[in-house]
Amino acid sequence: MAAPVYYRLYLLRGGHFVSMSDFHALDDAEALRLAGAKVSAEGGELWCGARKVGDVSAPSPTAALHEE
């Protein structure tokens, strides 16, 4: 089993960083899923050290309905 990796989620508001959240995940896919549950409507950026993993947006209510 791989060791958890350290990630940092920067939360956005009005196009500016307003806060951050640090957490561990097993890989980028898990980190993106966890980050999606933490972001506000304006989204954020997920980083792993100096590497930008991706932009994260909040799941829409209709997307949640389609997953069921």
Per-residue confidence (pLDDT) for residue 14, from 0 to 100: 86
Per-residue confidence (pLDDT) for residue 58, from 0 to 100: 75
Q: Taking the model in full, what pTM does it have?
A: 0.80
Per-residue confidence (pLDDT) for residue 56, from 0 to 100: 94
The tens digit of pLDDT for each residue in 10-53 reads 999 888 899 999 999 999 999 999 999 888 778 999 999 999 99
Distances (CA, A) of 28 to 16, 36, 41, 44, 66: 23, 12, 21, 15, 23
Which of these, 26, 57, 29, lies nearest to 41 by C-alpha position?
57
Per-residue confidence (pLDDT) for residue 61, from 0 to 100: 58
Residue 66 reports pLDDT greater than 90: no
Neighbours of 26 (CB within 10 A): 12
- Rg value, the chain, Cα: 12
